[in-house]
Amino acid sequence: MDAKRLAHFRERLLAEARRYREQIDRINATGLGQAMSEAYGEFSLYDNHPADAGTEMFEREKDLGLRWAAEQTLEAIQRALARIDAGTYGRCEACGGPIPEERLEALPMATLCLACKEAQEARPDGSRRPVEEEVLAPPFRRTFRDRSTFVGFDGEDALQAAYAYGSSDTPQDLPGAVTYDDLVRSLEQPGVVEPVEAAVDEAGEPLQTDDPGRFAGE
Distance CA 87, CA 136 (A): 54
DSSP letter (8 states) at residue 178: -
Nearest to 28 by CA among 41, 39, 43: 39
38 plus 140 within the same structural domain = no
Single-letter residue type at 44: S
| CATH code of the domain containing 25 | 1.20.120.910
Same domain, 89 and 168: no
Based on the fold, state whether residues 78 and 108 are members of the same structural domain.
Answer: yes
For residue 141, the model assigns a pLDDT of 59
What local confidence, expressed as pLDDT, does residue 138 receive?
60
Question: Is 9 in the same domain as 110?
Answer: yes
Please indicate, yes or no, if residue 73 is contained in any of the structural domains: yes
State residue 214's pLDDT score.
42
pLDDT of residue 213: 42
**209 in a structural domain:** no
- Chunk the chain into consecutive blocks of 10 residues (it has 218) and report each block's average pLDDT, rounded to whole numbers: 89 94 90 70 64 80 91 94 93 92 93 91 70 66 72 78 72 71 58 60 63 41
- Same domain for 102 and 167? no
- Residues 216, 218: Cα–Cα separation, whole Å: 6
pLDDT at 37 (0 to 100): 66
| Spatial separation of the C-alpha atoms in residues 74 and 80, rounded to whole Å | 10
Listed residues 84, 114, 144: the one ending a domain: 114
Same domain, 70 and 152: no
19 and 106 within one domain: yes
Confidence at residue 70, expressed as pLDDT on a 0 to 100 scale: 94
User: Within this chain, do residues 104 and 182 fall inside the same structural domain, yes or no?
Assistant: no
> Which residues form the domain of 183?
133-187
The pTM (predicted TM-score) of the whole model is 0.53
Contacts of 7 (CB under 8 A, 6+ apart): none
Number of domains present in the structure of the chain: 2
Note the pLDDT of residue 82. Answer: 94
Is the four-CA dihedral 122, 124, 129, 132 of positive or negative sign? positive
- Residues 108, 144, single domain; the answer is no
Under a CB-based contact definition with an 8 Å cutoff, are residues 76 and 109 in contact? yes
